Amino acid sequence: MKSESMETHKKNVPSHIKCGVITLSDSKFDEYKKNSCTCNDLSGHLLLKTLINKYDVECYTIIPDDARILLKTIQKMVDRVDIIITTGGTGIGSRDITVETIKEIFEKELDGFGEIFRSESYKLLGTGAILSRATAGVYNKTIIIAMPGSPNAVQLCLDIIFNELGHLARHLKE
């Protein structure tokens, strides 16, 4: 059953949504530095390629798995964009710091994103879906969405959020 109020909200979304993309990966960052700012960042490039079809991508960067650098990068982007999407660092490895770092700054969490992502992942992968800590929240009137680093996971996340980004951004303007 569709919600009449949600459909009304979706019709009144801002015409320009500004996005920023951050890839967190020690290995991609090293490759990026060694190869004069080019690297094989499949997930980051998938985000860029998909987002530009409907939204304005204002900034994109690759950083190492480092909490201090992530926070600094978010601070640089937050006044320029409505949505920040990160890819990488959401697993349970010792270098996976994205979730702990951004949850500290969230003013509000969007629990539904992670719940839906894990549910859809479970349908595709089975119990391995429990390894993902994908999350989303609000910081300084900006939505931050933390996706896993694999291209397949990024595609699934995009399938979930792509058409909701305008709706999310609209609520931030209230």
- Give residue limits of the domains in the chain: 16-172
> CB atoms < 10 A from the CB of 155, how many?
15
Residue 131 amino acid letter: L
**Mean predicted confidence (pLDDT) in 55-70:** 97
Mean pLDDT taken over the chain: 92
Q: Are 146 and 98 in contact (CB under 8 A)?
A: yes
**Architecture of the domain spanning 16-172:** 3-Layer(aba) Sandwich (3.40)
pLDDT at 11: 67
Q: Is 14 helix (H, G, I), strand (E, B) or coil?
A: coil
* pLDDT tens profile 9-46: 556 677 799 999 999 999 998 887 787 666 789 999 99
Cβ neighbors of 91 (< 8 A, separation 6 or more) are 131, 132, 133, 148, 149
**What is the bridge-based pairing of β-strands 56-63 and 18-24?**
parallel
